[in-house]
Every structure is written in C-alpha cells, then in structure tokens.
Structure 1
Amino acid sequence: MAAATGVGAGDLVATMVAGSKYGYTLLWAVIVGTVFKLALGEAVGRWHLTSGETILSGWRTLGRWALWYFGVYAVVWGFIYGATAMSASGLPLNALFPGLSVRYWAMLCGLAGFLLVWFGRYAVLEKVMTAFVGIMFVTVVGTAVLVTPHLGDLFAGVAPRLPDGSMVYVLGLIGGVGGTITLAAYGYWTLAKGWRGPRWLPMMRTDNATGYVMTGIFVVAMLVVGAELLQGHEIVSGDKGLLTLGDTLAADYGHWARIPFLIGFFAVSFTSVIGVWHGVSLLFADWWRTLRGTTAPIEGSNAYRAYVLWLTFPPMVLLFLDEPFGLTVAYGALGALFMPFLAGTLLVLLNSRGLDSAGRSGRLSNTLLVACLALFVYLAYDQVTGLFE
C-alpha cells in the first residue's frame, strides 16, 4: 500500500528524464533514495508498534504547533494533490481513449477513487491495490526488459558519480522515490492489518523492506527505459512527458507496445489516488480526533469522510485551468515542506527516554534519519526558492 501509493507519475517522469540525460550514471541515486524511504517507513511503523500510539499522538507530545502544522499542511496539500493525482490518472486514459478529454477522465478517476474509499474497508482496498501493483510491475518492468538494457552500463551506475549539471536530478531522485505524506500513513495500515506491539516488528520490517525493494526495482526499470529509448531526446516536463515515451515505444516496436505501457502509466497514477484518498484521510481523521482529545474510531468517521470529499470535489475546479504542469510544480513544493517535518519529528520521538527500548532508534536508524533531514531541508529550500525565480 505505502510503496505503491508513494510512486506516482511525477516520480516516473523525473526518473525517465534523468535516464534520458545521463543514461545509467545516476542509478546510485535511485538506490540511495530507496534506502532513505525504507528508513523513514521503518521508523513510522516502529513508532506505531512500540509506542502504542499513532504518529499524531506522538506529534501532540511535541506541542500543539506540530498538530497545527500538520492540519494546515494537510488541507492545503490535499486541495493541490487531489487535482494533480486525478490529472495524472486522466492523461493515459485520454491517450488510450481520446474521445473524452483529460479533464473529464480525471474527474471520473477521482469519482472512482472516492467510491472505493467511501464504501470500501482496508481489506477491500488492499486487494484492489495488489491487482494494480501487479499491473504496474508487469507493464513497466516488462517495458524495461523489452528495450534490452546494457547490463555492463547498468552495473557501472552503482558507483556514485556527478556529471556536470546533474545535482538537481540527483537530489530529485533521492528525494522523490516512494512518497511524501503517505509515508506517515504506513503506521495506520499496519494497525489495519492487526499488527500491534513489538512482537510485530520483524513482520513490519520485512513488509517495509519488500515494498521499497519493489519500488526500487520499479524506478530502476524507468531509468532503463529513459536511458535506452530517450537518451538525447528533449522530454516535455510534467506528467505528459510519459506520453512521449508511449509514442517512442510505438515508433520503435509497433503500436502494440504503447498500449501496455499506457495501462501501466494509469496503474501507477491511480494507485496514488486510492492510497492517498484512504491513508491521508485516516491521518486527517486522527488529527481531528487528537485535537478534540477523543478515542473514537477514525475509519468511516465524519472527519475521515470530510477529507475524502475535500480530496475529490473542490480540486476538480483546478482541472478547468488545464495546467497539469503547474499543478505538478506546486505539488512538488508542498511535498518538500512535509519531509523535513516528518524526519525531524521521528528523530525526536524515537529517541525519547519514555519509549520502549525495542522502539528506540539505534545508530544506523539515527544516521539515516539525520541524512534524510539534511537532504529534505535542502530540497525544501530549493523547491520554495525556485517558485520565486
């Protein structure tokens, strides 16, 4: 759930563009990004299992500023993300079925996600997501196999190198693999599975590692496709750049090759709709519950459903601007503002003396969390200052 939700069309574009510009040279940055997100996901899951509290309850202990930071952020982020995710899902459907514009395909995708999350429980959503993950993996990794990568060059990319002008792509690959706010939702999904207490730590770590190893393989596949098919081509920025790849596949391998890729593109985008509509709505409902000091269930609560509505219907207004690239830029800047908050608060919470010793961070976890914090602070600065240039 967490890994599939976290990989969206924007991540695929960034990886594809990096491959088209630098070949396999930046493969190491994908690996580092996977390790960083694995460390963050493990830290979130460990907090939930060993503290007996949710991440929102942990943030409450840091002061009300942390609760209000998250609450304001979630409202603003949700409005922008709702339009971004729907638009990204509508693009491949429009390419497959051009009789309906991207805008209206996007709205239909938003409604489909809304209905799944409004009426479906976690067990149902998990089965739907599993099916889409299978489609994602077969189509995108299958495309990488189709273009027959040069394995010698691929393995050479494991050695860290920084070609001229590549720093922005390195930071984007490290920071963009596998989600932002959805990382915080991972703990709620472990609870939905019935995992409670430190005895579930080995299972959680196996689950988290499996998810992010798959994510890493998936993103490496996109780097391969960019390096083999698009090196030397100028790629359109934004989610629409993925359509360029579909056209290139059709030209090189026949029209049939375009279709499975577009189906995979849709699966990548729509899993982000389902996962966010469910996971971030749980976060928001827990925020509301924590503010009020109650212990009521959160899934299906009024606050949960209010946020599902907020993600679906108000953002449809932005779809009429027909500016999917502008939405992607705004979403990137907002995402960058959450990651330093998550990494920093996890560092504090998981080194608390009041936490069970099984939950406290060791040297490896603390090192990775500090590295994540430093990277994401820099990325946030870069993203925000970039908006004013």
Structure 2
Amino acid sequence: MNLNLSRFSKTAGPGILFACTAIGVSHLVQSTRAGADYGLFIVGFVILVTLLKYPFFEYGSRYANSTQTSIIDGYKTLGKPALWLYFLLTISSMFFVTGAVGFVTAGFFENLFGIDYLGEWTVIILFAVCVSVLAIGKYNVLDSLIKIIAIVLVVSTVSAFLLTLYNGPLEPVAGFEPKDLWDISGIFFLLALMGWMPTAVDLSSWNSLWTLERIKQTKYKPTLKETLFEFRLSYLITGILAIMFVTLGAFIFHGSGEELPNSNSQFANEIVQLYTHTIGDWSYIIIAASAFTVMFGTIIAVLDGYSRSLQRTIELIFTKKEEKIRTKFRTFYVIFLLVISTGSLVVVFQFGNNLKELVDFATVLSFVIAPIIAIFNFRLVTGKFLDKEHQPSLGLKIISVSGIIFLIGFAVIFAFLKFGPIF
C-alpha cells in the first residue's frame, strides 16, 4: 500500500493541473449559469459531453506515456499540414480563451478585496504576477501551487453542495417562466456550455506536455496504468464538481426571477453569495478567497499550457534535429508568456465589461474547432503510431467515434444557426 501511494505521489500532477484548468470558467461561471437559467434539466447534457469528450483528453496522457513524446510531436508524424493546422487553431483561440479566464479571475480578485476602481488594471496586474511566477519557477511552482488549490476547491464545493441539498431548492417566485433551451439563444448557450465542458478539446495537448514534465521533475517513469489512473481520477472529479455547480445554480438561483450579472466583479460577488447563502455569512471571506484561488490556479495553468504548447510547436516546425532545439528556443517560453498576456489584454479591452459575451464567444470558438483535434488524437492512438498494447480498448474507441460525430454535428448546427443554409 505504501509503495502504491509512493508511486501515485510521483505520478500525481498532470491530471490535477488538468482538473484545475477545467474547473475555472466552465464550472464556476458556465455550470452555475446553466443551473440558474435552465435548472437541473441541463445536467444530462453536462454528463453527455463530459463522457463523449473524455477519450480525447486521455489520449494526450496515453500518447505521452507510451512514446515519451508529446502529442504535439504526434501531430507532426501525421504530416506537417496537421502540425501547422494545430498551430493556427491554437493562435486563433488562445487570446480569447486566456482573456476570458483572466477577466473572470479579475472579477473574483476585485470581489475578494473590495476593489471597484482599478478596472482593466486588475487584469494587467494579475497577468504580470502570473507571468513572473511562471518565468521564475515554471513547472515546479505550478505543480506545488495547483495541488493546494485543488484541495481548497474540493472541500469548499462539496461542503456547499451538501448544505444546499439539505436546505432544498428555492421556491419559484410567482409568475416565474423558465428559459427555453431550444430557442436560438438557448442553443447558443448550450454550445457555449459544452465548448468548455469540462474544457476545450485542443487543451488535450497540455496533458501530454505536463506528463512529460512531471516525469522529468521526479525522474520516475510511471507505467501506462499509473498515468491513466491519475488522469481518470482527476477527470472524474471534474465531472462530479460540474454536476455540483449546476445543482448549486439550480437550487439557489433558478426560479428566483433574477439574472446573474454581466459585470465580472458583480458576477463574482453573486457566486460567492451563492455559497455563503448555504454555508452562512461567517464563511464569506473564506469562500471569496477560495473562489479567487481556484480562478488564479486556472489562469496560471492556462498561461503555462499555451506557452508550453506554442514553444513545442515552433520547435517542431522550424527545427529538424532535436539536439538543436534546446539552444535555439530555450527563451521562447517566457516570450510566449508575454505575447499571450498582451494579446489577451487587448481582447479584454475590446469586450469591455461584457462578461457573458466574452465567455460565450471563447467557449463556442473552442467547440467549433474541437472536432479537428479530436480526429487527430484518435488517429494517433489507434493507428500505426502506437503499439497495440498501448492502444485504447474497443469500448473507448466506440466512445471516441461517437464523440467525433457528436462534436461535428453540433459544430454544423452552430454554423447553420449562425450563418444560415449555404445552399
């Protein structure tokens, strides 16, 4: 038993990073909005999309453990066009994704400290802190910080969830009319919800990079079974917490006749009030600090993931021999941190104080590009690129094919609704 725990402690990290990346906006914002606007009915969609997206995230960890290279390296083996397409998809979405996460984090920061006069400077300060932390400490700091954040998140969310169940759902106000999920705005929200539930599929490449970095950090190479266990446990927790956040939104807001605010700081205050309403006023400062800590963990992981994946992509595109990479591109990680932060700030300034519009745009964009990455990942773990003993089971392959059809289908629905029939 002690031996197994020792091995798990050496393996643990990449899955926890994934969970903290996922739990930020998709759970605190989108899942709470889903429950508040549409009630518990939407839980079924949360479970469905979490299940159908699962294989494509796992394949990042599976490929890294099996080949000792990142899945981005795998995209190159599919051909240079595949690598270039991944690169273009990444740069087309990274500023919007990071901007949305940064904007939400700024709202929880302002709520925690009672600040309402800094405006966009809050986001600037947050990005500056994150870039400094990552530039100095890189993965070691990220790994240590994220594990503390994960514990805080799980304890506070489970506590609020259990107390909410005990108190029961809110009695709807007189004349309350629930929103229709099947009108145009409802379908667009459903697409936005599923775009980041539990997170964007293109972020699956980060799992492989973090898996390799953890091996380098601990000098311990886990078995495929150990790597997959750590990721599956973390993924299961993200799914359970998503259901909890939907339930919190449904029990406390659905039927109240109130709209969750569009301002990031006011939205953050409502979310914190959601918790304290069930736990007690005494817990406000604890919940406010916990919520900010969760979002801070998300933004720092997002900045690391994008910078790390961009660095590796550039290395593979412009360098033929692996031994030349470290000397030629060793400073690019910090450069990309600065570029992504700057571009994301421009996005935040562009959207102003419109939290919902920015988050929905970023999440729908992620959903539309998801089928391409899903197909890439599926090809890499089921074809000639991976040994038979490392390939997924038949059941997982069936879920993968179903997931690809699902993602393509909803992308087509979005295009039809947005732009109308082509012919």
Which one-letter code corresponds to 2:342 in the other structure? F
User: CA offset at residue 112 of structure 1?
Assistant: 1.5
Residue number in structure 2 paired with 1:307: 336
| Native 8 Å contact 1:19 1:226 kept in 2 | yes
Residue number in structure 1 paired with 2:214: 193
Residue number in structure 2 paired with 1:41: 57
User: Structure 1 297/386 Cα, relative in aligned 2: closer, same or farther at 3 Å?
Assistant: farther
| Native 8 Å contact 2:206 2:305 kept in 1 | yes
More helix per residue: 1 or 2? 2
Partners of 2:292 and 2:339 lie apart in 1 by: 22
Residue number in structure 1 paired with 2:228: 205
User: Structure 1 117/16 Cα, relative in aligned 2: closer, same or farther at 3 Å?
Assistant: same
Report 1:131-146 matches (<5 A).
Answer: 131-146=148-163
Residue number in structure 2 paired with 1:159: none
| Native 8 Å contact 2:107 2:268 kept in 1 | no
Q: Residue 31 in 1 paired to residue 47 in 2? A: yes
User: CA offset at residue 237 of structure 1?
Assistant: 6.8
User: CA offset at residue 173 of structure 1?
Assistant: 5.0
Partners of 1:320 and 1:53 lie apart in 2 by: 38
Partners of 1:190 and 1:353 lie apart in 2 by: 22
Match of 2:374 among 308, 319, 343: 343
User: Structure 1 235/379 Cα, relative in aligned 2: closer, same or farther at 3 Å?
Assistant: farther
User: Structure 1 298/173 Cα, relative in aligned 2: closer, same or farther at 3 Å?
Assistant: farther
| Native 8 Å contact 2:134 2:141 kept in 1 | no
Match of 1:82 among 81, 87, 98: 98
SS of aligned partner of 2:114: coil
Greater shift, 106-115 or 32-41, is seen at 32-41
Match of 2:248 among 225, 235, 245: 225
Q: For each residue in 1:157-190, what CA deviation from the matched residue of structure 2 results, as whole angstroms up to 9, or x when unmatched?
A: xxxxxx9736846665555322213222101111
User: CA offset at residue 252 of structure 1?
Assistant: 6.9
Report 1:97-112 matches (<5 A).
Answer: 97-99=113-115, 100-112=117-129
**Paired residues, what number?**
379
User: CA offset at residue 268 of structure 1?
Assistant: 2.9
| Native 8 Å contact 2:60 2:71 kept in 1 | yes
Match of 1:318 among 347, 372, 394: 347
Q: Residue 353 in 1 paired to residue 369 in 2? A: no
Greater shift, 203-212 or 350-359, is seen at 350-359
Partners of 2:358 and 2:28 lie apart in 1 by: 16
Q: For each residue in 1:175-231, what CA deviation from the matched residue of structure 2 results, as whole angstroms up to 9, or x when unmatched?
A: 532221322210111111218999621111111111112112221221221121112
Q: For each residue in 1:76-125, what CA deviation from the matched residue of structure 2 results, as whole angstroms up to 9, or x when unmatched?
A: 32222232221111101212223343422222211111111111132221
| Native 8 Å contact 2:86 2:373 kept in 1 | no
Which one-letter code corresponds to 1:96 in the other structure? L
TM-score of the two chains, using structure 2 as the length reference: 0.79
Partners of 1:17 and 1:85 lie apart in 2 by: 16
SS of aligned partner of 1:232: coil
Q: For each residue in 1:3-37, what CA deviation from the matched residue of structure 2 results, as whole angstroms up to 9, or x when unmatched?
A: 11122224433222332344333333333333334
User: Structure 1 133/202 Cα, relative in aligned 2: closer, same or farther at 3 Å?
Assistant: same
**Percentage of identical aligned residues:** 19
Which one-letter code corresponds to 1:342 in the other structure? I
| Native 8 Å contact 1:93 1:102 kept in 2 | no
Greater shift, 87-96 or 258-267, is seen at 258-267
Q: For each residue in 1:269-315, what CA deviation from the matched residue of structure 2 results, as whole angstroms up to 9, or x when unmatched?
A: 22221111112211111111111223224998233222111121232
Residue number in structure 1 paired with 2:172: none
Greater shift, 322-331 or 212-221, is seen at 322-331
User: Structure 1 319/174 Cα, relative in aligned 2: closer, same or farther at 3 Å?
Assistant: closer
SS of aligned partner of 2:229: helix
Which one-letter code corresponds to 1:24 in the other structure? L
Structure 1 vs Structure 2 CA RMSD? 3.1
Partners of 1:90 and 1:203 lie apart in 2 by: 36
| Native 8 Å contact 2:195 2:365 kept in 1 | no
Residue number in structure 2 paired with 1:160: none
Which one-letter code corresponds to 2:358 in the other structure? L
Partners of 2:226 and 2:101 lie apart in 1 by: 31
Report 1:27-176 matches (<5 A).
Answer: 27-99=43-115, 100-149=117-166, 165=181, 168=187, 174-176=194-196
Residue number in structure 2 paired with 1:269: 295
Partners of 2:134 and 2:329 lie apart in 1 by: 9
**Unmatched runs of 5 consecutive residues or more in structure 1:** 154-162
**Unmatched runs of 5 consecutive residues or more in structure 2:** 1-16, 170-178
TM-score of the two chains, using structure 1 as the length reference: 0.86
User: Structure 1 309/384 Cα, relative in aligned 2: closer, same or farther at 3 Å?
Assistant: farther
Match of 2:305 among 279, 283, 290: 279
Q: For each residue in 1:40-95, what CA deviation from the matched residue of structure 2 results, as whole angstroms up to 9, or x when unmatched?
A: 22211111222343212211122222122121222232222232221111101212
| Native 8 Å contact 2:192 2:363 kept in 1 | no
User: CA offset at residue 150 of structure 1?
Assistant: 7.6
Residue number in structure 2 paired with 1:156: none
Residue number in structure 2 paired with 1:259: 285
Residue number in structure 2 paired with 1:294: 321
Which one-letter code corresponds to 1:236 in the other structure? L
Greater shift, 202-211 or 291-300, is seen at 291-300
